[in-house]
Structure 1
Amino acid sequence: MSYQRLSPDERRAQILDVARRMFTELPYSEVSTAAIARETGVQRGLIHYYFGTKRELFLKVVQKLAASAALQVPPVDERLTLPEAVELCVNLFLDTAERNATTWFAALDAEGFGQDPELLRIVNRFRDEAVEHMLTVLRVEPTETLRAVLRTYSGLADAATRQWLQEKTLDREQVHTLLARTLLTMVSEIAPELEGTADPALD
């Protein structure tokens, strides 16, 4: 890429876009700041000036990924039934996973530099925000028990998308069926039972 004169904010955004693409296409260990600099058309020192080390740049990429995924949550639609809201949640998750699979799995595994506390903090905060978004879309009463159930569900969602996008043992339709039916059951049956209350709709 030939050099272009850009403002500092534009240059930072350009570097982040290139880094995100490279971290998405390649394992963390195979990406270098020198390669990112070549792709961006800048000196390697500029990467370090704006972002520091490769680790810090990767953390910024994951942080931006989490923020952009959070923005995909649509306005609440009061007309949706619970099963329809579940379908919407699952489709949003699968769309995001498909666009960002390699980067997200690298973040979950902390691939390349071990269990990094800052990376885990970003991932856990994203999980917490995803749970709150699900509660909003599903229009169910938030309780700590239900939040815990949905956190457990997020682990299943990660494992299922690995089978689809990495292992190739399931296709998207199969993963959708698995996640949608499980989420509906967790919200309508399992969580109420754990709360010690019965769901009148199931009587």
Structure 2
Amino acid sequence: MASPRYRRLGRDERREQILAVARRMFTELPYTEVSTTAIAREAGVQRGLVHYYFGAKRELFLQVVRHLTATLATQLPPLPEGLLLEEMADLCVAHFLDAADANATTWFAAVDAEGFGQDPELMRIVNRTRDLTVEHLLKALRVPGPTDTLRAVLRAYSGLAEVATREWLQHKALNRAQAHTLLASSLLTLVRDIAPAVERS
């Protein structure tokens, strides 16, 4: 006998099920084309349950972005001791590209948020993720006494990383090896040469 389509889940399981459906739909469709009714239908629950757990569509989208940024901002794995700066930059970029390959579609959905507007909370989440990424990068590169200027330079680098990733994964204008070379070489030059020059300006 076939098992019933509906299965009673615990509160946390049901919430995670709805969130997983929302993540997929917000990734595949523009924000304006996703509704809580469609999310509920895909999750096999009543629309009221979506609102019970997450509130309106805006709050659900923000929760999707928070979940994603918690994944993207995870700390880089410890790098082996004794590496040259070039080797550390290379490994950092490789780790970033691995994460981008796994999560970029959802990340771009968050950054673009077509139809969502310039929501202050969304911007805070996205900017917080960029800041955390910079801090993890500084730790991975073992930069002694990083300054606010260096942090600003690396935040600018994060913009380059997002564009390079888009050129690789969305536009197909770059392949992964080319994106890696662009980002690793740029990171090394920024940390070694450009950031000190900016500090002296």
TM-score, length basis structure 1: 0.90
CA-CA distance at 1:60 after TM superposition: 0.4
- Equivalent residue for 2:14? 11
- Equivalent residue for 1:46? 49
- Equivalent residue for 1:144? 148
Task: Give the 3-state SS of the residue equivalent to 2:200 in structure 1.
Answer: coil
CA deviations over 1:22-80 (Å, ceiling 9, x no partner): 22222222222122112211111100110011111111011011101222521243232
CA deviations over 1:138-159 (Å, ceiling 9, x no partner): 1012111110100000011111
- Checking the alignment, whether the CA contact within 8 Å between 1:27 and 1:106 is kept in structure 2 is yes
Equivalent of 1:176, from 158, 174, 180?
180
- Equivalent residue for 1:103? 106
- Equivalent residue for 2:61? 58
Supply the AA of the counterpart residue of 1:38.
R
Aligned residues: 197
CA deviations over 1:85-140 (Å, ceiling 9, x no partner): 11121122212222222221121123222111100000000000000000010101
Supply the AA of the counterpart residue of 1:26.
L
Q: How many Å separate the matches in 2 of 1:75 and 1:109?
A: 32
Equivalent of 1:131, from 130, 134, 152?
134
Gaps of 5+ in 1: 198-203
Q: How many Å separate the matches in 2 of 1:76 and 1:88?
A: 8
Q: Which moved more, 1:184-193 or 1:79-88?
A: 79-88
Q: Percent identity?
A: 69
**Alignment CA distance shift 1:74-1:138 (3 Å):** same
- Checking the alignment, whether the CA contact within 8 Å between 1:24 and 1:100 is kept in structure 2 is no
**Displaced runs of 4 or more, over 4 A:** none
Equivalent of 2:196, from 181, 192, 199?
192
Supply the AA of the counterpart residue of 1:190.
I
